[in-house]
Structure 1
Amino acid sequence: MANLESLVIARRLRVPIGDAPAGSHPGQGEVAARQLDAALLSVGFKCSAALLERLADLRVETAIDLGVRVLAAVRELVGDHVQHNAYFLNFPRNVPDTVEFWVGLLSKALLDPVAAARVAQPGPLNLLALPEYGRYQHSYADLLAAHAELIPLAGDRITVLELGGSLEAEARELYFSLAGSEVPLSAEDLAALRSLTLFCDVEPERIPVRENRAVINEQRLVTGRPLLVDTVTDVLRVACGVSGGDVTLATPTRFRAFRRAERRTLIQALDAVASPAKLGDVKRHPEQWKRLGERLHPHEYPGFPRAAQVFEVARGDRKARSFDSRVEAALASGRTDDAVDLLGNAPGALLRRLDHLLRISASPDAVLGATEKAAADASGRVLLSLREHLQNRLAPAAGRVFANRNGRAWVTSDTRTPIDEDVVSRAMAILDEEIARRLPDLGKLIIDPEVLDVALPLSGKAVAPGLGMLPRGSLSSVDGELLRFFVYWRQAERRTDYDLSALMLDASYDNLEHVSWTNYGNGFAEYSGDLTDATDGASEFINIRLAEATKPIIIPQVNIYSGEAFDEAAEAFFGFMIREAAQDGMPFEPRTVRMKSDLRGSGRVALPLAFLLDKEGDWQVKWLHLYLKGSPHFNQVEGNRISTSLLVRSIVERDYLRVHYLVDLLERRGAVGEHTTYIGLQAPADLPEGTKVYTPSTLHELIPA
């Protein structure tokens, strides 16, 4: 229950209290409530007036216990649950010149007989093996003593925690939001959904994303209820999920032994959906099907012959032609009209191939006619994704960016033939009309201007939940004078060295500079020092004085030099802080943190975001959520500078579909109802009663069905 409570607080910024018993007299818990509010302010949070009033009426011990849990949850959300020491005691002051630093370490080593003997060994000198390198030379208490307290200023982040209902009601609302999402969820949100299914006994009427449906089906299988499936792959996802594997099917699963009742449920569900037209899907994951067949023993169920055919196809004993293969055959033989007719039976597939069809078809009008029919039946996410794609076809791109579900990205030149501008415009008009038709009536709109440049969350896979997170392609303003990146990691089993670095580019994405463990600073940035062991956790920082920056593009990155991958470490997260020049304080100050999120993904180089100086002289952040493959060992900023600059340029110059697109459609249509809807980064306190609120954590609910 405590984990569920923390989940609600972190995801919704609401404190579930419900019918917690009041004290024997009004205001009994007021002192505890005020103490909690003061403690929250130290990490950049605050209780709303309603929450403060409710806490004050609780029994003292109840208010104190709840306050401890709330504070722990938000401290972890902002990254303040660990101690952030820095290699250089006085960082960002007195950071030595890089050469000066190495000479000093070498001199100290030569004065130590044991270290001197190691340094004098034949062969190249290994500077990283010097005794004082890569390890804290002072305690966290020493760091505290060397830095003054943070000077609070009006620009510090204040995130308001709202009063929630009962834990049951808040958990159910979060469950419905995740389960009914129109966009795929991140791995963390899928895990949250799995926890919520154990707690919530009511299912949403509609579960559009198959991975979400698989998670819910896991619980249905365990409890002996029929499965919600309509393809053979849906059944495979369920088997993977209950075996502790990957419901996205991106990685192989080692299937567990199934109980007899579970085997029968899976076989029965498989038999119900294994029509000849759907058997072709088996070829997408043949090895997984073979392993599953070894666990399900389909020969024991002669009453379900179509289920047995699935495993025959997997083994190659039965032929099954997939829908995609028939489409490809038609396209390969030049029968574009036949391919369009086939795709008319699968609206989503037609729209995903629209660019290709328009390039090769001799009759764009016929393709657009099929597009109009398909648009009426395709999902809202597919319509929006295609709309974004088409608007980027009207301008030449620096390159085509490809990113997988884990954020692993690569860029290549765009060699596609152009599509006539009039054809593209007509296709976009078809999509605009259908999207506008599906948008719900939101009544009177109250819009925070800051949210208009937030990209629509068309997929949540690459975005790990955290504080201040926005979808890839979003733009937000940077409102301070000092920018500070931070990374924290703690190794699980073996020595692990992550390196925080920053790549600086000019407006043409050239003339590269960097700050890293090989270059401790330049005229406007300082590096906190390299740590090479994180047994007890390690933190690195880069401080940027924005007013003095001579490069308009700054790209922080985290390189895995050696050791565990991001998703293997016990803990790993990145974030950034914003301060004013007049502020003092520790290298890490939670109330100045604007963004913090876990690092994960299969890449060895993380590119969370980029900072850009616009034409008006204001700094903005563009959200990337990307990972480069990198090398198995010894990644550093100098080695990936070219690929990084190409990738970031492609992301920065891409025209993402943002919130203002939906707002324009809604305002063009006009309000119908009397209710009010607010869309913004954080809800203000003076909204009309009953206002429906959409913030970054719930923007996916705006994606039409």
Structure 2
Amino acid sequence: MAHDLESLVIRHTHRIPFPKGSAGEGAATARQFDAALTSVGFKLSVELLEHLSGLSEAAVLRTAERTLRIVSEMVGDHVRHNSYFIDFPANVPDTEEFWMRCVVKALGDDTSRDSVLTQLARGVLNLLSLPTYGRYQHTYEEMLAAQDELIASASDRVTVLHLGRDLDDEVTDLYLALAGSTTPLGEDHLSDLETLAERCALGPQPDSIPVRENRAVVNKARLAVGADLLLDTVVDVLRLACAFSGGDVTLQEPTRFRALPRPVRRALLAGLDAVVAANPAKLADVHAYREPFKRLGERLHPHEYPRWPHAADVFAVARGEKDARSFDSRVEKLLDASDVLGAVRLLESAPGKLFRALDLLLRVAAGQEERDAVVAAAIRVAPEVSGRVVLSVREHFQNREGESDKPRVFVNRRGGGWVASDVRPPVPAADRDRLIAALDAEIRRRLPAPARLLLDPDVLDVALPLSGRASGAGLGVLPRGSLSPVDGEQLRFFVYWKETERRTDYDLSALLLRSDYSTDSWLSYTSLRAVGGEHSGDVTEAPDGASEFINLCLDRVRSPVIVPQVNIYAGESFEEVEESFFGFMLRDGEQKGRPFEPRTVRMKSELRGAGRVALPLVFRREEDGRWRAKWLHLHLKGISSANRVEENQISVSKVVRAVVEREYLTVRYLIGLMSDRTTAVELWDGERVPDEPVTYIGLERPEGLHPDSRVITLENARDLIPG
């Protein structure tokens, strides 16, 4: 368990919990540890190296063994990445030439000759019937022997690991940070919070847990140790029941409720009773989740507990036996009667709902007087709305300027994306501008005013993480909408997957688009070579794991837009396979090396999502000739099998264009609001850091910061979002 917790700390904070052991002469072993880390793109901070040097060799080795295992997994080097073509990216054949080779070999094989001849006579050939197609024809060791050694480059990624505090302190701090997050966590981080909550349920707690899904996970741990539950709505209880049953606390997917032990049933019923007794209007919340509440009632047996009559009312509303008029229905009735002012007055009692309805209210308002009332109400309640919602609404109106022919992009909680034409009437410019100015003022009021702000310029175009679901879990992953520079001559994508039970075939592809987002060409198993790029070859099964790669020489690529994608051709989904992840590497022109070199990896992200086509990010060549990445984190539904880049190019180009053309709020926006105040903003040059405490915002923590500095990096960027 301690090792699992240590792994969480290192992955989330890039700190190694304070290594302990007897004093000794561990300097030489510590340097060897540092050298081993360098091979996978990590290194020890000066402080951590000095600390390890004062421990015994055995203590350093224990730390090294655990840490190397963790960071190797972080970067994707914990598995063997073989390539179908042994000397990829060299000597990749043309597709038709390669297929013909496979046919010739099959005809020379007594076991396959008759089948292939029959297929050829019919004019249709199944590539999977060819013995040499889709299966590695060499071992991993043979592939390594055929590849040149990687030449080290100053541009190789170096991620610094820092010295942390005692494990208990680090675990507590991480728990408080995740549990108290002002933005929803992604699935992986929510799972990590569950692990931490089991350890920390009886320890220090955050001042508040504003995100309901986080509260459900914490309540599950508190229920197990008999601590008081944190409940203020009936839906909190429903989420807790889902958490206890191993279901979806976001309530997006149905949960099969387990048989609940009597103590759990009593706790849930008592919680429901207390919530409704304190505020009977909370019964109206049942309507949004009637079916889950009915199924939960079948497990709780409320009729057996007459001492909690208000809990029984919850299930009576769910069954339609008791009336509880919902808040939303009251608002809808007023709007149906064109009583916008009445709807605004009612919505002022629910500030979050008012903010989410602002666009609609401004569109249906009968005249300027009613629009003035809408804006005035928004300004009045703004201090009561969460920072995440204020920023989300600000971003929404930023993209509602005038008559727009831009398509609307929709993304659900699981990353499923689709686009539709924007048929909404425009919001009057004057009202939109007044509202944006008021929202800016509200955010500015909530932001801290540090005396000295040290800023990494590379973080300016990172999108604000308004939801943890807007990015995947992994190394170097930025939120959806972020822009990041691509500094390298060779761009290489990779995907790895390992099937659980069924034959599973993932296909790594890259769609190359023109500036108007029409298709220029693509790289895939059906097009192994294109201008400036090569595909490593199709692997069609992965019982022991499989990898595919695409290599692009950026100065030779003629298309200005590159869209990597992972298509599920056959078999298990991204959530069914034992493991799957995507990433990209950058190399200088002269660097060789294996198809997968961990210290050249810039990003590695777990593949999760309900769709059959994954779109992690898009690369664009700007007017100055430089390449930049814009992060997508999207999944398209696709079809049940045989998804191919040729078939989905139109839908992919539409959703890519919608995300690329959307304006996202970035760190630059927040810094602009801060700099309007007394804060002194200094851009960090990557060299010396100040001696005094600062607030540092960057992609990674630099060495040498004053210990009293406040540090915000990718790992805790959610702390940028004011409460």
TM-score (norm 2): 0.95
Mean alpha-carbon deviation: is it higher for 270-279 or for 144-153? 270-279
Q: Pairwise mapping of residues 12-411 of structure 1 onto structure 2 (< 5 A)?
A: 12-17=13-18, 20-23=20-23, 25=24, 28-121=25-118, 123=122, 124-200=124-200, 201-274=203-276, 275-361=279-365, 362=367, 363-394=370-401, 396-411=404-419
Where does residue 553 of structure 2 map in the other structure?
545
The CA distance in 2 between the partners of 1:595 and 1:426, in whole Å, is 40
Question: Deviation of residue 10 (structure 1)?
Answer: 1.1
- My pick for the range that moved more, 455-464 or 597-606, is 455-464
Distance 2:104 2:573 in 1: 34
Higher alpha-carbon deviation: 472-481 or 2-11: 2-11
1:557-603 deviation per Cα after TM superposition (whole angstroms, max 9, x unaligned): 00000000001000000000000111010000000000001101000
Query: Secondary structure at the residue paired with 1:540?
Result: strand
Q: CA deviation at 1:245?
A: 1.1
Residue 587 of structure 1 corresponds to 595
Cα offsets for 1:611-658 (capped at 9, x unmatched): 010111100000000000000010000111011101001101111000
1:255-299 CA-to-partner distances (Å, cap 9, x unmatched) read 222222222111111011124322122122222112211221111
- CA distance in 1: counterparts of 2:680 and 2:235, whole angstroms: 42
In 1, the alpha carbon distance for the partners of 2:450 and 2:610 equals: 40
Sequence identity (%): 55
Query: Partner residue of 1:531?
Result: 539
* Secondary structure, counterpart of 2:676 in structure 1: helix
- Supply the distance in 2 between the matched residues of 1:100 and 1:394 (Cα, whole angstroms): 52
Q: Which moved more, 1:473-482 or 1:166-175?
A: 166-175
User: Distance in 2 between the 1:647 and 1:503 partners?
Assistant: 13
The alpha carbon displacement at 1:113 in A equals 2.1
Contact 1:483 1:546 (8 Å CA) reproduced: yes
Counterparts of 1:559-598 in structure 2, within 5 Å, are 559-598=567-606
Paired residue type of 1:14: R
Q: Distance in 2 between matches of 1:89 and 1:672?
A: 54
Deviation (angstroms), 1:120: 2.6
* Cα distance in 1 between the residues matched to 2:569 and 2:541: 11
Cα distance in 2 between the residues matched to 1:443 and 1:702: 16
Q: How much has 1:86 moved relative to structure 2?
A: 0.1
The amino acid across from 1:463 in the alignment is: S
Q: CA shift at 1:3, angstroms?
A: 0.9
Q: What's the offset of the Cα at 1:490? A: 0.2
Tell me if the contact between 1:397 and 1:653 (Cα under 8 Å) persists in the aligned partners. Answer: no
Task: Tell me the alpha carbon deviations over residues 644-688 of structure 1, each in whole angstroms, 9 at most, x when there is no partner.
Answer: 101001101111000011111111111399951010111222434
| CA root-mean-square deviation | 1.3
- Is the 8 Å Cα contact of residues 693 and 705 (structure 2) preserved in structure 1? no
Q: What one-letter code is carried by the residue in structure 2 that aligns with 1:460?
A: G
Query: Offset of 1:442 from its aligned partner?
Result: 2.5
Q: Following the alignment from structure 1 to structure 2, what is the Cα–Cα distance between the partners of residues 129 and 3? A: 44
Q: Which AA in structure 1 matches 2:187?
A: A
Q: Is the 8 A contact 2:693 2:706 kept in 1?
A: no
Name which of 658, 674, 696 aligns with 1:678. Answer: 696
Letter in 2 for 1:468: G
Instruction: Identify unmatched segments of 5+ residues in structure 2.
Output: 682-691
Partner of residue 693 from structure 1, selected from 705, 711, 721 = 711
TM-score, structure 1 normalization? 0.98
User: Separation in 2 of the partners of 1:655 and 1:374?
Assistant: 26
Greater CA drift, 239-248 or 597-606: 239-248
1:301 & 1:688 partners in 2: Cα distance? 58
Question: Is the 1:224–1:265 Cα contact (8 Å) retained in structure 2?
Answer: no
Question: What CA distance in whole angstroms lies between the structure 2 residues aligned with 1:389 and 1:645?
Answer: 22
Partner Cα distance (2:308, 2:706) in 1: 58
**Contact 1:482–1:543 (Cα < 8 Å) also in 2:** yes
Contact 2:398 2:663 in 1 (8 A): yes
SS of aligned partner of 1:120: helix
Paired residue total: 701
Q: Where do residues 581-620 of structure 1 align in structure 2 (5 Å cutoff)?
A: 581-620=589-628
Q: CA deviation at 1:452?
A: 0.4
Give unpaired runs (5+ residues) of structure 1: none
Work out the CA distance in 2 between the residues paired with 1:483 and 1:284: 47
Alignment of 1:439-588 (within 5 A): 439-588=447-596
Once the two structures are superposed, what CA deviation does each residue of 1:43-74 show, in whole Å capped at 9, x if it has no partner? 01000000101111112111101100000100
Q: Is the 8 A contact 1:397 1:650 kept in 2?
A: no
Q: What code does the residue aligned with 1:358 have?
A: L
How far apart, in 1, do the equivalents of 2:591 and 2:222 lie? 55
Partners of 1:689 and 1:218 lie apart in 2 by 35
The equivalent residue for 1:11 is: 12
